[in-house]
Amino acid sequence: MDYFNISLPNREINKIPMLALAHIGDGVFELMVRSKLILEGKTRINDLHRACVKIVAATSQAKRMERLLPHLTEEELAVFRRGRNAKVNSVPHAASVREYHEATGLEALFGALYLRGEKARLDELFSIAMEEQNENNEPASLEADL
């Protein structure tokens, strides 16, 4: 099995519980964040860790999900909503219930796209999610978020 080139049909993905999709999506999103940070020249492990934790935190993921919503297809939006509405047993103290649910929806979406083998779409949505906005709604550097 080539785990970097999975391509499951929708009928198989629809059988996977939402929290399981969010689990795989969490790993996909974090790997993409780590890759982005390394490619941008962050190589000191403490800096990498701090930057990564800040970006993958539920509060940050919820904000990034807000940026993605206008760009989602109906099918992607349905996966996000199902992930967002999944029953979770606990919420981290650093996030509100709403933020945690939004983050879970983002992770479920990334998990579904990964399992479908939709790498180009993952890259596209990740780029949008990682765009930073300043007060004038202009992109800012990633460093501002770190």
The active-site residue, picked from 26, 47, 123, 145, is 26
| 139 phi-psi bin (left φ>0, alpha ψ -120 to 50, beta other) | beta
The overall longest dimension of the chain from CA atoms, in Å, is 47
Per-residue model confidence as pLDDT tens digits over 69-128: 999 999 999 999 999 999 887 777 888 989 999 999 999 999 999 999 999 999 999 999
Give domain limits for the chain.
10-145
pLDDT greater than 90 at residue 140: no
pLDDT digits (tens, 9 = 90+) for 7-37: 999 999 999 999 999 999 999 999 999 999 9
Active site residue 47: no
- Where are the alpha helices (H) located in the chain, listed in sequence order? 10-13, 18-39, 45-56, 58-68, 74-84, 97-116, 119-130
Instruction: Write b or e for each residue in 44-66: b if 16 or more Cβ atoms lie within 10 A of its Cβ, otherwise e.
Output: eeeeeeebbeebbbbbbbbbbbe
- For residues 37, 21, 83, 79, the Cα torsion angle rounded to the nearest 10 degrees is 90
Q: Is domain 10-145 in CATH 1.10.1520.10, yes or no?
A: yes
